[in-house]
Structure 1
């Protein structure tokens, strides 16, 4: 069964769709552009709607980046991964840096907490466990300095067979 192609939306309808989206969660300007532009009759309408939303403070990349950062920290993601994800969402590098600097998160402590949780599921020789833990923390977005510090702190020998 094919999807029906919807009629292009005018400016007022685009504004309703955008407000409906923003009522559920924060969106970056780029995310809204991607959601609205395929449905628009004219891309100038999309730009006009985005400007209007921004002027009314209904859409804010600053607010989006703060909210996104909090949610990713709660998931145990490190600063490298958060930075990359924000860039993919269309947040400018300067704002990404501001958001990470304003965040009062102790990244070393977060890395330590994430490592402690992961350590419980790792089995094998201490050397293998260190390598697995390093890869896992790197995947989670922690810097090599943060990872090295955490690996030095944790007691891997206690988890060995």
Structure 2
């Protein structure tokens, strides 16, 4: 996954947890199955193997809560190792995401997307985005609408809605459209 693109820690955790849980549950089920077959051969060993079965689960079914906790701790350990080895970097993820989105989206949309991934812009990157927002908005507007002034209020509202949906601030949108009127 990391060879294709940068990932945030939260995103990678979300992607890895289902696989780790499935592997832990499979291992717990295999252990329970082996233990159950051993118990059927030697009934006196049932009390000699405490903790194999959950007290809440029916006989022969492994404790999925323990498997889930084991999977989560394994994923956290893996993520810690990836960060220590610099294979996983929040800063690289932010830079890559901003670079990929800045040409098409405004500051609000970029910040919202980063927040979904559990990261935030540092002060320097936020300032760079603020400084270039009007220019980026003008480029997006020119690509979409050909740089032509809106003919009437309905066309102006349509253009404003489009730019707002792209995450540009209302103040920047107004300045871009006013500049087109001049």
User: Given the two structures, how large is their TM-score scaled by the length of structure 2?
Assistant: 0.66
Cα offset for 1:101? 2.7
- For the pair 1:131 / 2:160, whether they are aligned, the reply is no
Q: 1:154 aligns to what SS in structure 2?
A: helix
Q: Which runs of 5+ in 2 are unaligned?
A: 25-70
Q: 2:112 aligns with which of 79, 84, 87?
A: 84
Change (3 A) 1:78 1:28: same
- For the pair 1:28 / 2:28, whether they are aligned, the reply is no
CA contact (8 A) 1:36 1:46 kept: yes
C-alpha distance after superposition, 1:110-145 (max 9, x if no partner)? 101111222239897421111011101100000111
Change (3 A) 1:116 1:107: same
User: Given the two structures, how large is their TM-score scaled by the length of structure 1?
Assistant: 0.74
Cα offset for 1:24? 1.3
Q: 2:74 aligns with which of 45, 51, 65?
A: 45
Q: 2:94 aligns with which of 65, 73, 78?
A: 65
Q: 2:3 aligns to what SS in structure 1?
A: helix
- How many positions carry a matched residue from both structures? 133
Change (3 A) 1:116 1:25: same
Q: What is the alpha-carbon distance in structure 2 between the residues aligned to residue 84 and residue 96 of structure 1? A: 14
CA contact (8 A) 1:111 1:147 kept: yes
Indicate the structure (1 or 2) with the bigger Cα radius of gyration.
2
Q: What is the alpha-carbon distance in structure 2 between the residues aligned to residue 129 and residue 43 of structure 1? A: 52
CA contact (8 A) 1:108 1:150 kept: yes
Q: What is the alpha-carbon distance in structure 2 between the residues aligned to residue 104 and residue 65 of structure 1? A: 16
Q: Which runs of 5+ in 1 are unaligned?
A: 1-20, 157-161
CA contact (8 A) 1:122 1:129 kept: no
Stretches of 4+ aligned residues off by more than 6 angstroms: 121-124
Structure scoring higher RCO (CA < 8 A, sep ≥ 6) equals: 2
Q: What is the alpha-carbon distance in structure 2 between the residues aligned to residue 112 and residue 121 of structure 1? A: 8
Give the superposed CA RMSD. 2.3
